[in-house]
């Protein structure tokens, strides 16, 4: 049985003061959640938010990580730095990073390995553009992205990580993939993992859906057999909405 995991991706939102308000409001609302609950604030909020989380059932995640342990990479943050703050999860390869910041399948693979080496669980994002979906290449795109992200990784590491299927056309647009579309593409991703790492790994990897997931559509998406959670952007910025998604 895969334990569902709902993660909030705050993106570039929330000053430390705003972050405190959000966490203070959210913690009691999700205290009895049946799933794993994660929030991914911006880097500058992490240390601050980390201090607010003991005694709650909310785990801390970051939104990116560099692949080197340290060095001359101005503006970057390494996995050991995140680890020391108590970060448990890190989003890797979000489509906004791929689109605006030159993220490639190769760097996604490097970041994934760096996170694993530091004992942080990556949440690896894959997903097709609208054009790719209309051209019928969705399955090929997510398969290539998934296999490339996991290149040269040991089975034991792959088992424990999280993948987020996020169709780019559904992110922040209010357009959600239908539950059938999401379920089918997640099955394709699981099949790709099965092809490389075998059945036991494929059966254990948790795969989230992300893209305009909200309190209204969370329960029908979460009822699908392949969908193990959600990566939530916009709806994670409002404590009541995020709590309703968490309690789908
Ligand atoms: P959204 O973002 O929920 O605002 O569509 C999801 C994401 O980009 O992770």
Tens digit of each residue's pLDDT (9 = 90 or more) over 25-79:
999 999 999 999 999 999 999 999 999 999 999 999 999 999 999 999 999 999 9
* Ligand 1 binding site (Cβ under 6 Å of any ligand atom): 9, 166, 171-172, 210-213, 231-235
| pLDDT value for 84 | 98
What integer pLDDT is reported at residue 94 of this predicted model?
98
Annotated catalytic residue 166 = yes
- pLDDT on residue 89: 99
Residue 125 alpha carbon to ligand 1 centre in Å: 11
What is the rounded CA–CA span in Å between residue 119 and residue 122? 9
Residue 93 has pLDDT above 90, yes or no: yes
pLDDT above 90 for 180: yes
DSSP states of 7-57 as a string? Answer: EEE--S---HHHHHHHHHHHHHHTTT-SSEEEEE--HHHHHHHHHH-TTSS
**Which one of 64, 162, 211 would you pick to mutate in the ligand 1 pocket, going by the greatest count of ligand atoms within 8 A of its CB?**
211
Identify the pLDDT of residue 1: 85
3-state SS, residue 164: strand
Determine the pLDDT at residue 176: 86
128 is catalytic: no
| pLDDT for residue 174 is more than 90 | no
Ramachandran angles phi, psi of 73, nearest 5° = -135, 75
Residue 206 CA to residue 59 CA, distance in Å, equals 16
Predicted local distance difference test score (pLDDT) of residue 226? 98
Q: In the prediction, which pLDDT does 248 show?
A: 95
What does pLDDT average to over the chain?
Answer: 97
Work out the average pLDDT over 109-124. Answer: 98
CA of residue 118 to ligand 1 center, whole Å = 26
Residue 46, sorted as left (phi over 0), alpha (psi -120 to 50) or beta, turns out to be alpha
Q: pLDDT value at position 61? A: 99
Q: Which of 94, 96, 103, 128 is catalytic?
A: 94
**Nearest atom, ligand 1, residue 170 CA:** 5
Question: Residues 65, 69, 70, CA angle at the centre, nearest 5°?
Answer: 100
Whether the per-residue pLDDT at 189 is higher than 90: the answer is: yes
List Cα–Cα distances, 68 to 93, 107, 115, in angstroms.
16, 11, 10
Pairing outcome for strands 162-165 and 5-9: unpaired
Residue 175 has pLDDT above 90, yes or no: no
Q: What pLDDT is attached to residue 111?
A: 98
pTM across the whole model = 0.97
| pLDDT tens digits, one per residue of 208-231 | 999 999 999 999 999 999 999 999
């Amino acid at each position: 049985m895969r334990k569902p995991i709902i993660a909030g991706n705050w993106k570039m939102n929330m000053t430390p003061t705003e972050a405190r308000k959000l966490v203070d409001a959210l913690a009691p609302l999700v205290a009895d959640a049946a799933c794993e609950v994660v929030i991914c604030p911006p880097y500058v909020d992490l240390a601050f938010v980390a201090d607010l989380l003991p005694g709650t059932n909310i785990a801390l995640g970051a939104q990116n990580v560099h692949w080197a342990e340290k060095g001359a990479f101005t503006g970057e943050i390494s996995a050991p730095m995140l680890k020391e703050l108590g970060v448990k999860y890190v989003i890797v390869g979000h489509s906004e990073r791929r689109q605006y910041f030159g993220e490639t399948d190769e760097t996604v693979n490097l970041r994934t390995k760096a996170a694993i080496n530091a004992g942080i669980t990556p949440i690896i994002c894959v997903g097709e553009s609208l054009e790719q979906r209309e051209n019928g290449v969705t399955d090929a795109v997510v398969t290539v992205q998934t296999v490339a992200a996991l290149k040269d990784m040991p089975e034991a590491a792959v088992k424990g990580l999280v993948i987020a299927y996020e169709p780019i056309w559904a992110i922040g647009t209010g357009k959600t993939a239908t539950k059938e579309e999401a379920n089918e593409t997640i099955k394709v991703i699981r099949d790709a993992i099965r092809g490389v790492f075998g059945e036991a790994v494929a059966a254990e990897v948790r795969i989230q859906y992300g893209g305009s997931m909200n309190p209204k559509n969370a329960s029908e998406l979460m009822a699908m057999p392949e969908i193990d959670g959600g990566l939530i952007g916009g709806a994670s910025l409002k404590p009541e909405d995020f709590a309703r998604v968490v309690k789908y």
